[in-house]
Amino acid sequence: MADRKPLISGNWKMNHNHFEAIQMVQKLAYALSQNDYDVVDVSVHPPFTDLRSIQTVLESDDIPIALGAQNCHWEAKGAFTGEVAPGMLAKMNVSVVIVGHSERRELFGESDDEVNRKVKAVLANGMTPIMCCGETLEEREADGAVTKVKLQVLAGLAGLKAEQVAGLVIAYEPIWAIGTGMTATPEDAQEMCSAIRGVVRSKWGAEAAHGVRIQYGGSVKGANAPDLMGQSDIDGALVGGASLDADEFARIIGYRLVG
């Protein structure tokens, strides 16, 4: 792997009220040590209603886990009932925001253009976007996976400067692997992550391609993390189900200690 520090992110989706979230993050912090934080960046992405509670725990106990959100709107304020502005997240010391998760795209109709606006808004508020992309099983079986993912990357990051791209995170998450227990083989995941880095190189140049961190997501667990994380273009993981179990998530973060 290059000199990029891996980022392992836990996407809790619509799970854990704020009491459960506090217990979860305390248990996770107990299972991790400075040896982990020295070599891996860790972020947790609880529901919006938990953010303030988790912020308080992380800051009062000096826990070096980054506070993350799962989504945001692109506007700074206004008549957008039910939405949360990026500036509101930044004010709570949220530093990483997942944008364009396939569940947002598939279940809530989020378009590439909206994803692009969100990426720009997250950056404008000093936070790091994790821009998600990935193909359906039908697209993969029809040999359309690489084309779909490349187009999502180009559209989602359209209009960004090379130095902005160098500092952000792209999560490659094959939709058929999310929450299904089916994982891409390390070789398939590496092939797509390498293709993503190739698109970044041709559009934004070598430095952006070298800097951008590419996570793999899709049924990552303690058992498969070492092989996935051992691939040269995989710089971390976006973890759903397994991040809800503090011990299992800690095993993923400690992937280098297994075997």
Binding site for ligand PEP (CB under 6 A): 11, 173, 178-179, 217-220, 238-242
Q: Give the active site residues.
A: 101, 173
142 vs 182, beta carbon nearer ligand PEP:
182
User: Buried b vs exposed e over 9-28: b needs ≥16 C-beta within 10 Å?
Assistant: bbbbbebbeeeebbebbeeb
86 vs 236, beta carbon nearer ligand PEP:
236
| Torsion angle defined by CA atoms of residues 132, 152, 127 and 74, in that order, rounded to the nearest 10 degrees | -110
Q: DSSP letter string over 145-193?
A: HHHHHHHHHHHHTTT--HHHHHTSEEEE--GGGTTTS----HHHHHHHH
Minimum CB distance to ligand PEP, residue 239 (Å): 5
- Taking CB atoms, the residue at the shortest distance from ligand PEP is 240
In this structure, what token pair is assigned to residue 220?
Answer: 């990552």
120 vs 221, beta carbon nearer ligand PEP:
221
| Pairing mode, strands 128-133 and 7-11 | unpaired
64 vs 179, beta carbon nearer ligand PEP:
179
Minimum CB distance to ligand PEP, residue 221 (Å): 8
Minimum CB distance to ligand PEP, residue 122 (Å): 17
161, β-bridge pairs: none
Q: Which residue has the tokens 């854990």?
A: 16
Minimum CB distance to ligand PEP, residue 220 (Å): 5
